[in-house]
Amino acid sequence: MTWTPEDRAPRRYVDTAKAVRRGLLVVYTGDGKGKTTAALGLLFRALGYGHRVAVVQFIKGQWQTGEAKMAKALADRVDWFTLGDGFTWLTQSYEQDVASARRAWAKCLELLADPTYQLVILDELNYVLAYNFLGVGEVLEGFSRRSPTTHVVTTGRDAPPALIAAADLVTEMRKVKHPYDAGLKAQPGLDY
Amino acid sequence: MTWTPEDRAPRRYVDTAKAVRRGLLVVYTGDGKGKTTAALGLLFRALGYGHRVAVVQFIKGQWQTGEAKMAKALADRVDWFTLGDGFTWLTQSYEQDVASARRAWAKCLELLADPTYQLVILDELNYVLAYNFLGVGEVLEGFSRRSPTTHVVTTGRDAPPALIAAADLVTEMRKVKHPYDAGLKAQPGLDY
């Protein structure tokens, strides 16, 4: 294996002369674990700077998760909204699901327009777009009108191409090995 | 696009009868952003359950990061060790780098043996292994002797095949789009 200086310290090799600072659109997608988890890592990092963060969970509503508990403990700086119906999405009618998504999206627009949030995490929004409960054009228009320094993060499998095209940072979490495949149970503090 | 129930709720479809609960070995690797970030997300989640967490940073020593600030604020439950020399690794002699890695590993073994930690994050250990500053065999032996309920997470590019083979969960963070490519500067609260 050969190594170049670029391999080990990519963040150093930015031409800061032409660098700009603005709110980014970050997309975590793919079939591997770590998408929501990475979004929570951004939350953790942002809190270290005293930033204010909003999280909208589109899907995981019914779970009492470690992240929700922790967010509650940090409620002065983290606003946590649970707008899905857990895993019951899609067992209802398409029309009902669309109506739920639209209610959630109205809240998102409110958060995105609020300049006091430095980071807005829209957890599992990619799913909602892939299922066509919300139109990607409408969502991107909402993103473009957000407070200019607000970072937006979306998570979920199957991020639509138009979302990827509009994003500043896209990482595909690719599943190499998954503990469920070996019969290991989802564990508090690791999986949720 | 067609969807099956499995697509939307993978964590539900675990055969809990054969499921076991034990500390997992998690590896986040690949050239995309989100590896350390996902490890921090696990930390956030674990704290929600009141778990105790140790973090060893092999590389990012000199940075004053959001995560380090936040960990300091949560110092009663997060122990944060910085053992690298920032990005100066590899500019020194190989022998010096090996000696630094060995000192760091001695601390890791101590943390891994301590049953009061539910999660031990070894940030950028994959790099250290890829550069052969530590032998993967020795590291895996150390992992195998850890407290049985402790989750271990390693991050960094180029995780060696033997580490991937031993791991329970491996996600490759694949770079799809990177903000530095567009001349965007690393930003506090997002990149560090």
- ipTM reported for the complex, 2 dp: 0.83
Per the listing, tokens 């919300």 go with A134
Please indicate whether, in this complex, the C-beta atoms of B179 and A171 are within 8 angstroms of each other: no
Chain A residues within 8 A of B116 when measuring between CB atoms: none
> Contact at 8 Å (CB) between B148 and B8?
no
* Mean pLDDT to the nearest integer, A17-26: 72
CA angle A52, A56, A60 (to 5 degrees): 135
Restricting to B residues 42-71, those with a Cβ less than 8 Å away from any Cβ of A are 42-49, 51, 65-71
Q: CA of A17, closest CA in chain B: separation in Å?
A: 9
Q: Which helix or strand (DSSP H or E) is residue A161 part of?
A: helix A161-166
How many CB pairs below 8 A link A and B? 257
Question: Is residue A188 included in any domain, yes or no?
Answer: no
Q: Do A169 and B177 touch (CB under 8 A)?
A: yes
Q: How far is A72 from chain B (nearest CA, A)?
A: 9
| Interval A40-56: pLDDT, tens | 999 999 999 999 999 99
Supply the CATH number for residue B117's domain: 3.40.50.300
* CA distance linking residue A181 with residue A96, whole number of Å: 33
- With respect to residue A185, please indicate whether it lies within any of the assigned structural domains: no
pLDDT at A186: 82
Distance CA B10, CA B13 (A): 6
The total domain count for chain A is 1
A75 touches chain B (CB under 8 A): no
DSSP chain B: ----HHHH-GGG---TTT-B----EEEEESSSS-HHHHHHHHHHHHHHTT--EEEEESS-TT---HHHHHHHHTTTTEEEEE-SBTBTTTTS-HHHHHHHHHHHHHHHHHHHH-TT-SEEEEETHHHHHHTTSS-HHHHHHHHHTS-TT-EEEEE-SS--HHHHHH-SEEEEEEEEE-GGGGTBPP-TTTT-
Asked if the structure places residue A72 within a domain, the reply is yes
Does A189 map to a domain? no
Decide if A29 is inside a domain. Answer: yes
Contact A177 B168 (CB under 8 A): yes
Task: Count other C-beta atoms under 10 Å from residue B143's C-beta.
Answer: 21
Q: Which region among A78-82, A153-157, A181-185, B161-165 has the lowest average model confidence (pLDDT)?
A: A181-185
Contacts of B24 in chain A (CB under 8 A): 179, 184, 187, 190
Give the structural domain span for A125: 21-174
Please indicate if any CB of chain A lies within 8 Å of the CB of B88. no
- Are B179 and A67 within 8 A, CB to CB? no
pLDDT-based confidence at residue A137 (cuts at 50, 70, 90): very high
Whether A186 and B68 lie within 8 Å, measured CB to CB: no
Can you give the C-alpha Rg of chain A in angstroms? Answer: 17
Task: Give all strands (DSSP E) within B31-86, no chain letters.
Answer: 53-57, 78-82
Lowest-confidence range among B12-26, B28-42, B57-71? Answer: B12-26
In a domain? residue B189 = no
**Picking from A32-46, A143-157, B52-66, B99-113, which range would have the lowest pLDDT averaged per residue?**
B52-66
Selected residue with higher pLDDT from A118 and A64: A118
Q: Say whether A20 sits in a helix, a strand or coil.
A: strand
Sign of the CA dihedral with A67 first, then A167, B182, and A22 last: negative
Instruction: Please indicate, yes or no, if residue B15 is contained in any of the structural domains.
Output: no
Question: How much is the pTM?
Answer: 0.85
Residue A53 lies in a domain: yes
Contact A28 B34 (CB under 8 A): yes
pLDDT at residue A40, rounded to an integer:
96
Could B170 and A158 be called an inter-chain contact, meaning their C-beta atoms sit closer than 8 Å? no
CB contact under 8 A, B18 and A183: yes
